[in-house]
Chains A and B, each alone.
Chain A
Amino acid sequence: MKRVRQHKTPSWSDYLTARIAQCQHPRIASLLSQLPDPATPLAETPMVAMDFETTGLDANHNDIISIGLVPFSLDRIQPAAGNYWLLAPPSGLKRSSVTFHRITHSELEDAPDLALVLDDILNALTGRLVVVHYRQLERSFLHNAVRDRLGEQLLFPMLDTMSIEAHLHRQSWWARLRRWSGRPATSIRLHESRQRYHLPPYTGHHAYVDALATAELLQAQIRYHFSPELPCGELWR
């Protein structure tokens, strides 16, 4: 069983304790206080896979246009208990991103602002460890969306399937040797990562489908590389 090396970043528990104490908004406070205990074994950790489609990559200038959530555990993924929202971007939809997501202006015309569904979203996340593929994107967009609408900070640990792949394929001595010899680095994108575990190809760039794909990928990663008894706090970032 591989163990992921602990980062020497400030500990999440100190940060969270401080934040819960300062937090004004009850929904945010309950989300932070109900995060799974870091000592919970992966096999018993309730999780939720989350994926956003956005109008661009910069959380300060772009908006979320769709959110997909799929609750799961190491044992079972529950696709039908998942959620999918289309959201109206406050700054409008850029043409360039339309081709990417296949979400069109007319589809977003009736879509609500995130403020109207934020409660549902936070409910779906509460009590679960959030699993994403590339946490920098989801974390910063969620943080900004909550800050703009509730005036609160929202930062909490997430499990990142991409960072697990990066650790396996980019940071090992073998990966370094491969890079040194001039061969291209192994791709750690969602689709390519799934292929390594013989997971079937899905239509990408749909928030719900990508969330489902991420949940399946994490199940596969754990079956391959980690013990189900590993405390979830060892893997979150």
Chain B
Amino acid sequence: MSIELYEIEQHMARFEPFSRLPAPLLQAVANAVEISYFKAGEQILTRDQPLEHVCYIRSGAVELYQRDGTTLFNRLGEGDLFGYTDLARKRAVRYPVTAIEDSLIYYIDAATFEQVADECEEFAEFVDVSGRLKHVFEQQRQSSPLLSTKARQLVQMKPLLATASMSLSEAASMMQEQHVTCVLVTEPCDSTLPLAFLDDEDHPVMLVGIVTDRDMCTRVVAEAISPQASLREIMTSRRIITTQASDSAYEAMLKMLDERIQHLPILNGKRPIGVLQLADLLRFETSNNLFLINTILRQPSTEGLVRLSQDVRRDFVSMVEQQSGSDMISRALSLTGRAFVHRLCELAEEQFGPPPVPYAMMVLGSMAREEVTITSDQDNALIIADSYQESLHGDYFKQLAEFVTDHMAECGYAYCSGEIMASNAKWRQPLSVWRHYFSDWIATPTPEHLLESSIFFDLACAHGEESFVQELRELIAQQASSNPRFLAAMARNANNRTPPLGFFRTFVMEQDGAERRSINLKRRGTAPLSDVIRVHALACGSTQQSTLGRLDDIAHTQLVTAEMIKRLRYAFEYLSTLRINHQAAAISQGEAPDNSVEPDTFSRSERHHLREAFETLRDAQKFLGFRYPLKGNRERHS
């Protein structure tokens, strides 16, 4: 007699933490499994019910609620575990769990679960609360449903493709027939073009535009364009923004909000497989800050924006509680900040009239790197078209800049202490002056000079002419990589702030006002890490702005070893996560969030990880000085 538990075992082997188990232990777990089916809406665990099992989702999806039973704590799907933290704590259910889809649940009894954890350290690390840090990133990716949901899973319908020569009336009736709100416009092309794909009749075509039902209304009806005109005449002609089927739903949503579009074609390679609608997505997930970004972008008044800024902190804390990854949280906070800048520019244009010449409002530093935390201040600047004439347009842009920076301050983004803001006339200049600024910084880089300006090497457009910002980025990428003196100066700059490690791997603490022995995670950790990585990025001509994105670009070169890239990534993610968690905890306790943590309050393993992260920074800084030497000054600085 042999029992075939293959189905159960094979499934569990695909998911953390069971994927870490050797075969005999996995078999032991499979042997302990008991199964129950729950219909959507049924409660699986009720609060304070004694818990003797860990639950594994074989299929379906569940929601965990907070103690009050009404606030959503987490959503889990296939392959996720729940109940194990309660089991470790006191064996009574803390978070009630309800099936939100028809679900098949595997129960694993406490004794087996604990025994397996005892025998397999890697498994224990994953499930043990105190040992969770090492795998904190993988776990975050698993537990956030928006991150684990792929864009392709949200596709409801095949995309409607139409050739650009089709008449509007024909396209409209096709859209109505197929109940879709947009049509993807294609143009026949050469099959060798990079964006070419084969349509349903196997003809090579490429995506050239998109026409929505809204375009039909506003353009065709309001502008009285003939229904016999072709799609080509009304389609949105700017570059088409798309997303890949394998991107996360979250990524897709951020993209739509960032680009301010309602429809996003999803591609599998080059071929469109569907279209996401922002409205659908926001219905899918209203409890996160994408909703906030969307509301900011539609806010009719500055008072409304100031009111909304109250929600930023609340959403931040809830994202941390839902264990979204630190990169996602920073990205969301950055886009939130950019949404404020963007909307304020629009409101300023409403108040002072349309701009007399084109301009771009750019954000700098952490907001450009998409690494904003809840304590970040504002750094911004204005690039104005070269047709700018101070005597004619000066007042307009001064008013606009002050309007934006003052209201940003009201919305919780403190004035930049270094005056790096568009309200400062020095940073409100025509494009040609900006080109001159950057060329100058790169050609004659005194370290003192760069101390002030290094923040300008992280830049992104929040409103207006994106091409202005793009031009400066390309100028930097070209000129910086070929200028060793500049790189050396940037490297020296990056090595100014050292990690807080003593000779015997002890922490060097600072005494702050309240006499706490603390370490500033930003000043001694994430900021110098970003600085170090920026130097390598400039050296390899990368136009990426985020620290992790830059690491990806650097990984494609020989500048830094693969091992070092891995360590840098880990250190940066670890310190960012720690910083974000620290700030969220402060807010939850009604304290002012800051960047200072007290290692004395950490567990052994936390201290170990912290030390490891700082050692990575120290090693990276040493290498930087060696890789980009400051010629002539070597003795002085070696």
Residues of A within 8 A of B (CB): 68, 72, 75-80, 82-85, 117, 120, 197-200, 202-203, 206, 208-209, 212, 215-216, 219-220, 223-224
Give CA–CA (A173, B465) in the complex, Å. Answer: 64
- Of the stretches B25-33, B132-140, B328-336, B492-500, the one at the interface is B25-33
Give CA–CA (A220, B39) in the complex, Å. Answer: 7
Q: Which of B2, B34, B59 contacts A198 (CB 8 A)?
A: B59
> Is the CB–CB distance between A208 and B4 below 8 Å?
yes
Q: A83-B3, A84-B3, A220-B39 are in contact. Are A76 and B107 (CB under 8 A)?
A: yes
1/0 per residue B375-419: CB within 8 Å of A?
000000000000000000000000000000000000000000000
B59 partner residues in chain A, CB cutoff 8 A: 198-200
> Is the CB–CB distance between B7 and A85 below 8 Å?
no
7 further contact pairs, Cβ within 8 A, besides A84-B1, A199-B59, A220-B39: A79-B8, A79-B35, A80-B32, A83-B3, A84-B3, A208-B3, A208-B4
Please give the distance in Å from A223's CB to the nearest CB on chain B.
Answer: 4
Q: Which of B5, B6, B37 contacts A216 (CB 8 A)?
A: B37
> Is the CB–CB distance between B58 and A200 below 8 Å?
yes
Please give the distance in Å from A190's CB to the nearest CB on chain B.
Answer: 14
> Is the CB–CB distance between A77 and B34 below 8 Å?
yes
6 residue pairs from A and B, CB less than 8 Å apart: A68-B4, A83-B3, A84-B2, A84-B3, A120-B1, A220-B37
Q: A84-B1, A84-B4 are in contact. Are A219 and B36 (CB under 8 A)?
A: yes
Please give the distance in Å from B128's CB to the nearest CB on chain A.
Answer: 26
Please give the distance in Å from A45's CB to the nearest CB on chain B.
Answer: 15
Please give the distance in Å from B222's CB to the nearest CB on chain A.
Answer: 45
Chain A: which residue is nearest B32 at the CB level?
A80
Chain B: which residue is nearest A77 at the CB level?
B35
Please give the distance in Å from B220's CB to the nearest CB on chain A.
Answer: 39
Q: Which of B4, B39, B42, B107 contacts A209 (CB 8 A)?
A: B4
Taking CB atoms and an 8 Å cut-off, the chain B residues in 504-526 that contact chain A are none
Give CA–CA (A120, B6) in the complex, Å. Answer: 23
B31 partner residues in chain A, CB cutoff 8 A: 80
> Is the CB–CB distance between A82 and B3 below 8 Å?
yes
Give CA–CA (A67, B14) in the complex, Å. Answer: 28
Determine whether B265 belongs to the interface, using a CB cutoff of 8 Å to chain A. Answer: no
Chain A: which residue is nearest B38 at the CB level?
A223
> Is the CB–CB distance between A80 and B101 below 8 Å?
no
What 5 A-B pairs are tightest by C-beta distance, nearest first? A198-B102, A77-B35, A219-B37, A200-B59, A223-B39
A220 partner residues in chain B, CB cutoff 8 A: 37, 39, 102
A216 partner residues in chain B, CB cutoff 8 A: 35, 37, 104
Please give the distance in Å from B331's CB to the nearest CB on chain A.
Answer: 33
Determine whether B528 belongs to the interface, using a CB cutoff of 8 Å to chain A. Answer: no
Q: Which of B1, B34, B37 contacts A79 (CB 8 A)?
A: B34
Please give the distance in Å from A156's CB to the nearest CB on chain B.
Answer: 23
Determine whether B145 belongs to the interface, using a CB cutoff of 8 Å to chain A. Answer: no
Chain B: which residue is nearest A74 at the CB level?
B36
Give CA–CA (A120, B33) in the complex, Å. Answer: 23
Determine whether B430 belongs to the interface, using a CB cutoff of 8 Å to chain A. Answer: no
Please give the distance in Å from A196's CB to the nearest CB on chain B.
Answer: 10
